[in-house]
Amino acid sequence: MKKVALLTSGGDAPGMNAAIRAIVLSCEYKNLSCFGFYHGYNGLIEDHLLPLSSQLVNAEIKNGGTLLKSARCPAMMTDTGVKQACNTLLKHEIDALIVIGGDGSFHGLLAIKAHWHGQVIGLPGTIDNDLYGCDKTIGFATAVNTATQAIDKIRDTANAFDRVFIVEVMGRHSGHIAFQVGLSCGAESIFSFENYSNEKHDIILEDLIEKIQKQQLNRHASYLIVLAENLWPGSANALQEQLKSQGNIESAICILGHTQRGGDPVPEDRVLATQLGLKAVDALIKGEDKVMLGLSASQLTKTDLNKAVSINKPVSDELVNAHKGPLTHYLK
């Protein structure tokens, strides 16, 4: 194995640059040449290649985003697109491809593997933390930190007015960010896929209205609702209208959105990305193929890529249930 290529794909995540840096430094140390493809799989399809050196990446450990750029690349969903990507790898005589991304990106990597002889390794890079086989994905800790800091600020102004706030957080279809952030901010309510269902919509809304009304009557305090994106039918706006029409409750909405994706990675993400970047090169040298590397209970894990994309990683019941009982008893 002589030539390693890498790319970042899907939603960018803070720490992707730290992973790129560790891979490049490790390749140099081990006398392997290292190339990056720009804009996710588009770079492979369009043959947009950049030789990577320690000089280029060394200062990148502290930067959010990704120096290789990222993208969603619909062409990878077609046979033609995948074959074009493979042809580029063949043309440059690449021996191994490392993809830093989420579950979608690993589907792309599996599609490439079906037509190409080289080794493939995935590193979990997404703020959503929705990948089986690792405790945390690169970028998750930073997103949680960013959202927590933002909501702490919202809490100050909410307290000043005894106001109700609905804060929408990202996560696509998983509640890892919602529960982690909701707990860390002491939110009065957390709504995510793990504790909400359409069938129970009316009961959940009634219960929420009751809690807010009691809180406002008895304690004259703010009330913070952390809401996972893509959850509430009609989104935060519908919830706001329902609180008004069914409970005469005024509320404000804040959608944290892409602020959660940007910013310098927190130390936890820098270290995780660095460890996984180094391990990825070691794993390639050992001949590993078609695996995602991760850390679980501080131990390196190797998960078959097929498993990584097909097994769900739910938010632990411990975390979901932690919000009940002692932490919210005063709302009853």
Residues designated as active site: 128
Q: Least CB distance from residue 111 to ligand ADP, whole Å?
A: 4
Nearer to Mg ion, 128 or 194 (CB): 128
126 binds ligand F6P (CB under 6 A): yes
Rule CB under 6 A: is residue 174 a binding residue for ligand ADP? no
Q: Taking the complex as a whole, how short is the minimal distance between the CB of residue 92 and Mg ion, in angstroms?
A: 27
Tell me which of ligand ADP, Mg ion, ligand F6P, none is bound by residue 170, counting a contact when its beta carbon lies within the kind-specific cut-off of 5 to 8 angstroms.
Answer: ligand F6P
Using rule CB under 6 A, residue 126 touches ligand ADP: yes
**Residue 259, Cβ neighbours under 10 Å: how many?**
14
* Cα–Cα distance, 304 to 3 (Å, whole number): 23
Among 21, 103, 142, 284, binds ligand ADP (CB under 6 A): 103
Identity of residue 119: Q
Select the residue interacting with ligand F6P from 103, 128, 168, 269 (CB under 6 A).
Answer: 128
C-alpha distances in Å from residue 324, one per residue of 176, 183, 195, 210, 318: 17, 11, 11, 16, 10
8-state DSSP, 266: P
Contact present, 75 and 59 (Cβ < 8 Å): no
Dihedral sign, Cα of residue 273, residue 275, residue 276, residue 282: positive
∠ CA 174-180-181, nearest 5°, is 105
Does residue 26 interact with ligand F6P by CB under 6 A?
no
Cα–Cα distance for residue pair 319/85, rounded to 1 Å: 41
**Cβ closer to ligand F6P: 42 or 126?**
126
Per the rule left: phi > 0, alpha: psi between -120 and 50, beta: everything else, 248 is left
180 is a site residue for ligand F6P (CB under 6 A): no
83 binds ligand ADP (CB under 6 A): no
Nearer to ligand F6P, 188 or 269 (CB): 269
Give contact residues for ligand ADP (rule: CB under 6 A). Answer: 9-11, 41, 72-73, 76-77, 101-105, 107-108, 111, 126
Give contact residues for ligand F6P (rule: CB under 6 A). Answer: 11, 102, 126-128, 170-172, 229, 261
